[in-house]
Structure 1
Amino acid sequence: MNGSISHIRIERVAMTGPHAKTVSVPFVDGVNIVWGASNAGKSFIRKAIDYIFGGEKVDVPAEGIGYDNFVVWLSTPKAGAITLRRSIHGGDIYMALGHTDSVNSNSPGYDELKATHVQSPNVSKFVLQQSGYREARLLKNERAEKSSFSLRVLIRYLIVDETRMIDEKSILLHHNTTVTAEDKTLIKFLLTGVDGSSVEQVRSGDQLKAARDAKVELLSQLADKIRKKISPERSNIELERMLAIAEQERDDFQRIMIDRQDAIDVLAAQVRVETSTLLDEETEIADLSTMIVRFEELASIFASDLDRLSGLEEGGFLLQKFAKMNCPICGAAPEHQHLHHDLGDIELQRMAAEAEIAKIRREETELTNTVAEAKNERTHREIEVERVRGARAETQQALDNAMGRETSARVTFAKSTERVREREREMDDRRLLASYETEIEEVSRERVASRQRAAGLNLDLSPSEANELSKVIKRVLKAWNYPGGESVHFSVQEQDIVVDGKNRRNNGAGIRAILHAAFKVALLLYCREAGRPHPGFIVLDSPLLAYRPADETKGLGDLTEEELEVQRANLAAHFYDHLHGLQNFAQIIVIENHKSDQAVVAPYPNTQFTRNPNLGRVGFFG
């Protein structure tokens, strides 16, 4: 069938063998009926479907000798047409795209799916993803231990065998005898999408007792270690007295240390002042020495200038004197000499030289006085430097002595402080030991309940959730023309259906089967109408037990009046008509006998197993 679908549809269930003719049963959307004689292979089909989805190994009857693989064709919303194959001997499941009798490594889209949901990839994850489910965690118990939501957990709502169909135990059960937290969490998750992931797990009573005992043991070990550190020779009162003495000694030495530190600070400040003074004086001496050197250089310049000016003054004098003498060359008298010598400028220059010489001699005298004063100042400062240097040496010695005394005081203070800490540590150890002993006593008195429950845990369906599901169950029963059924509700106390005030388990096997089937179909309808995921297929084995003749209900007791009413209400016809009307979004495979009412299956897709070689199909293998 082409086109996309909203659910998983089982197209065919088959068995293949290397030398055997493939045997199969086809299915379509809506209702599919496999009916006929007993032991012809009807329930074998249900087991084969369960097996291909990771169920337990199927015992192949003698008719199946030569067959080695189960092959199921599926149409899925996302992957489209696929084929699943699994060996009759167990093991993994193999998938190929498209519908084929042969699934091997050469098949399109070939993949290996693990049968268990704890490995990946696996058939559980594939089916759940195709159905639109998210990963979820179910609560295993009231302590909120968790298990993974898987196809094998969900399968109870998809494939129902005859035993579970008529079982008096809760309709939520799979294999257990009583309803567990997982059963409750599963139905709540299917209806609401809320799983147990957010519930914080608590430890069991045994775990809490073990934790309590371990805590007592750990505290005892810690207490024993502390006892070894505590001197038993002195009491707490004696230790407190020793601590007070040690604290007083520490405080006394601290005051001494502070006083000596203050003395060090004063002497250190004095050393700094004297060092600064010494540096200032030495700087002044250096400046005076530099100035004296420069003044002495200036005095040498004055002397040189005086020598030069004295030469000029003497030369002018001689020139004037020689001007009145006979010519040294010709001997002519001054009045007979024909060259005239003007001595006016020479006289002026001589006079200027004398004036400059006088000025320089005055400045030289002043300079000599200044140099003498500078040398005298330097001598005084050199004397002061020696004095300050000596004073600083004395102060430094005093500082060194004070620092030695302070160091000694500090060592003594440190020792006294350590004695205080030793006493304080022992006091702390005694207090800690007392707290350990108190805690050991309190923990030992704790009583741990054997049954623990996670905080705020509410596993049951709420009244509104149960009521909404009950409405759909009632609608299904009305569509099947179930007698009565005016009051239908899901009881959270019974974890089962109550119809007209009567618990499902209190009815006969036939009614129990019908109500069980109604619950599973109603759940599918609820999920579709509420937009919740659901694979979209259901396999019901013997839901119409009330229609079987007496020889086929042997061991189950006579039909009850309610079961006879079901027969008179022609429920089977309405049952199949209603399921046939779901063909747009669901597939229901019904396995039944109908030996006494063959006409009821005629309008719908059906496969009959006769066990008569001369009449129709003998069974699944023939």
Structure 2
Amino acid sequence: MANFTLTHLTYAGAGLPTASVEFDPKFTVIYGSSNTGKTFLVDSIDYMLGGHVRPSIPRAEGYGQILLGLLLPDGRPLTLVRKPGGKSIHVHQDDLRELSHATPDAIVSARRIRSRRDISHYLLSKLGLDDTYVRTNEGGNTELLKLADLTHLSVVTDTRMIDPNPPSQRTRGTAARTTARSVMKLMLTGEDEPPATKLPNAAQRRVQRGKINLIDSLALDLHAKLSRDQTPDELRDQLAGLEDSLNNMARSLAGESEQQARVVAARAHLAETDAELEARLGEVLDLLGRFDTLRQQYETDLARLEMVSEAGNLLGYFQVGRCVFCGADPEHQQAQHGHQETTQLHEAVLVESAKTHSLLADLRLTIEGLEGQRDELAERRTALSAQAAEADGALAQIEARLAPLRDGLQDTVDERLRVERDLELRARLDELEEHRSQLVAQGALPSKRRESLIAGRILSSFDELFQRTLDSWRIPDVEGASYDPYSGDVSAGGTARAGHGRGMRALLHAAFSIALARYCLDRRLPHLGFLVLDSPLVTYKEPDFDADRIPPNVIDHFYRSFLAFPGQAIVVENATPPPDVLEQARIVTFSGSGARPGFFPARPSTANRT
């Protein structure tokens, strides 16, 4: 039979030292002072296997991940990662021992309720027990095996160790006793229960009648919410017609919207072009203004030059002969007093006048060209304005066609929602009616289904192993040790376990768990493969229990019995193991101080962190 092996339990948190304990594949002893986290460690293992009670101690504050490492039956590693208080478990097909943010291979619910996505189904499928049924009541009803049905037999916490409740039962009650008996039959024989249809008993029938009344009330409420009295077929036909109308409207709306988009794009292009023309026209008008000012300046210069020329002619400045300035005849004029002095002004006026006339002619050509561009730009802007007005008209027409389409589409969508809501209400009414019919049909009292018992020879073999386990610990007065499949309890020395004191109850519970694990593992029968026992020796006792103290030699023999255990054993205790066990087992000591004060390492002081 396939089994698991625990490899480590780790608490990890950002900025905190990792707290971890590694388990030996055969035998691990965790012992030491009280209040160091030993019981917290066991509770954490149970919590990681789907337990609903979150273990909590002050030193665990700040740790954001709990990691439980396992080896699958084929030897592959598996790490379960759960946030304290989280309702889901991340499954990694790897051996992780530090704070991890890797993408998990699977995410399952932490509740052991046997859905297809919870930790129970995931782990039981690895053991080949995912389609195993156990009996749940005397009427013969069955349900799928839960991981919790096996976990409480492999992980025994300190409270359960001394609890008077039978060690084979997970909880109290008649139903729990029936389930525990069926689970024990599965473990001792390898045979599960054949699936059976659940039938109600008298109390359940009373509940069913209440359900029927509730269903009738819900049906009346749903009927009141129907908008119209239409059959489901009529609603489906109406829905089909509405879908066709919506498709036609959607196509029309898409066509109009596409045309609108094209016109809007064209209108935007016209506006962009008009803006460019307006900018160019502004540049041209600015240049015309500048050039007109320059033209006026040229004309003013020419008028001045003409005035200078006329004045020179009238005064004789521009004639060759007697100097108009000194009266000397040409022959009496000095070398530097030639005719250039008398004609230089005239020549300068002529040259300047010719130059200005040339510039003015060029300027007038430029102005004429700019005036042509101005007129062309103005004409183009006028044409663009007409095109823009035409586009605005087309958009108005499209919008006028779109408005009724949108209104009609919204009305059709609202009507479709109403029909779909009515269809959903009709479907819920049909479901309620079907459920009501099932409840009515299941109202008969079912006959008891005969329970298949565990064969006497198997019970004798188990009782013999149970007795040998107690005898190997050298416990006095435990003759006749046996397991009662009807009550689920064990007895020794002629007294049921519940009738003994705390110390003997703990030893009998531990012996039962060890014997069950040995029996299953030796015969390859269903078992998780590991056994975790918390405080089986109960070293701390109240004064009233002095007569129930465990002799020291029992402690030594108890530890030595695990050296030949066929599976994996983890014992959490206050009592110190004998030297030979210290040499052969993995020993984890919590001293309360020093290098390993407890499960959680000492946190660095503020001074050290700074």
Identity value in percent: 25
* 2:572 partner SS: strand
Aligned pair in 2 of structure 1 residues 488, 57: CA closer, same or farther (>3 Å)?
A: closer
**Among residues 133, 137, 140, which one is paired with 1:141 in the alignment?**
137
* 1:558 partner SS: helix
* Partner Cα distance (2:501, 2:580) in 1: 23
**Among residues 172, 175, 189, which one is paired with 1:176 in the alignment?**
172
* Partner Cα distance (1:200, 1:618) in 2: 51
- 1:379-528 alignment, distance < 5 Å: 454-458=448-452, 461-528=454-521
* 2:525 partner SS: coil
* Partner Cα distance (2:107, 2:163) in 1: 36
Range 65-74 or range 602-611, more displaced? 602-611
* 1:124 partner SS: helix
In the alignment, is residue 544 of structure 1 matched against residue 525 of structure 2? no
Aligned pair in 2 of structure 1 residues 208, 64: CA closer, same or farther (>3 Å)?
A: closer
- 1:47-62 alignment, distance < 5 Å: 47-62=43-58
TM-score by length of 1: 0.54
In the alignment, is residue 593 of structure 1 matched against residue 574 of structure 2? yes
- 1:2-401 alignment, distance < 5 Å: 7-78=3-74, 80-101=76-97, 106=102, 110-116=105-111, 117-177=113-173, 179-199=176-196, 201-206=198-203
Aligned pair in 2 of structure 1 residues 209, 155: CA closer, same or farther (>3 Å)?
A: closer
Unaligned runs of 5+ in 1: 214-447
Aligned pair in 2 of structure 1 residues 123, 554: CA closer, same or farther (>3 Å)?
A: same
Aligned pair in 2 of structure 1 residues 82, 486: CA closer, same or farther (>3 Å)?
A: same
Q: CA offsets, 1:419-455, max 9 Å, x none?
A: xxxxxxxxxxxxxxxxxxxxxxxxxxxxx98xx6523
After TM superposition, give the deviation of residue 471 of structure 1 in Å. Answer: 1.5
* 2:35 partner SS: coil
* Partner Cα distance (1:497, 1:601) in 2: 28
Count of matched residue positions in the alignment of Structure 1 and Structure 2: 368
After TM superposition, give the deviation of residue 468 of structure 1 in Å. Answer: 2.1
After TM superposition, give the deviation of residue 535 of structure 1 in Å. Answer: 1.4
After TM superposition, give the deviation of residue 111 of structure 1 in Å. Answer: 1.8
Aligned pair in 2 of structure 1 residues 104, 609: CA closer, same or farther (>3 Å)?
A: closer
* 1:180 partner SS: helix
Higher CA-based Rg: 1
* 2:62 partner SS: coil
After TM superposition, give the deviation of residue 175 of structure 1 in Å. Answer: 2.5
TM-score by length of 2: 0.55
Contact 2:481 2:490 in 1 (8 A): yes
Contact 1:114 1:120 in 2 (8 A): no
* Partner Cα distance (1:521, 1:66) in 2: 36
| Aligned residue number for residue 620 of structure 1 | 600
* 1:526 partner SS: helix
Aligned pair in 2 of structure 1 residues 159, 59: CA closer, same or farther (>3 Å)?
A: closer
* Partner Cα distance (2:567, 2:48) in 1: 20
After TM superposition, give the deviation of residue 93 of structure 1 in Å. Answer: 0.8
Contact 1:201 1:454 in 2 (8 A): no
**Among residues 557, 564, 567, which one is paired with 1:574 in the alignment?**
557
Amino acid at match of 1:467: S
Amino acid at match of 2:166: S
* 1:24 partner SS: strand
| Aligned residue number for residue 301 of structure 1 | none
Contact 1:34 1:590 in 2 (8 A): yes
* 1:18 partner SS: coil
Amino acid at match of 1:620: F
After TM superposition, give the deviation of residue 616 of structure 1 in Å. Answer: 4.4
After TM superposition, give the deviation of residue 103 of structure 1 in Å. Answer: 7.4
Aligned pair in 2 of structure 1 residues 540, 453: CA closer, same or farther (>3 Å)?
A: farther
Aligned pair in 2 of structure 1 residues 93, 616: CA closer, same or farther (>3 Å)?
A: closer
Aligned pair in 2 of structure 1 residues 478, 106: CA closer, same or farther (>3 Å)?
A: same
* 1:82 partner SS: strand
After TM superposition, give the deviation of residue 25 of structure 1 in Å. Answer: 0.7
* Partner Cα distance (2:9, 2:163) in 1: 27
Contact 2:11 2:19 in 1 (8 A): yes
Q: CA RMSD in A?
A: 3.1
* Partner Cα distance (2:572, 2:564) in 1: 18
* Partner Cα distance (1:466, 1:576) in 2: 26
**Among residues 582, 585, 598, which one is paired with 1:602 in the alignment?**
582
Amino acid at match of 2:21: V
* Partner Cα distance (1:87, 1:210) in 2: 38
Q: CA offsets, 1:180-199, max 9 Å, x none?
A: 21121111112122223245
* Partner Cα distance (1:89, 1:538) in 2: 25
Amino acid at match of 1:115: A
* Partner Cα distance (2:529, 2:24) in 1: 12
Unaligned runs of 5+ in 2: 211-443, 603-610
Aligned pair in 2 of structure 1 residues 205, 559: CA closer, same or farther (>3 Å)?
A: same
Amino acid at match of 1:617: P
After TM superposition, give the deviation of residue 567 of structure 1 in Å. Answer: 0.8
Contact 1:537 1:587 in 2 (8 A): yes
After TM superposition, give the deviation of residue 42 of structure 1 in Å. Answer: 0.5
* Partner Cα distance (1:166, 1:203) in 2: 35
**Among residues 541, 548, 552, which one is paired with 1:553 in the alignment?**
541
After TM superposition, give the deviation of residue 149 of structure 1 in Å. Answer: 0.5
* Partner Cα distance (1:103, 1:63) in 2: 17
* 2:600 partner SS: coil
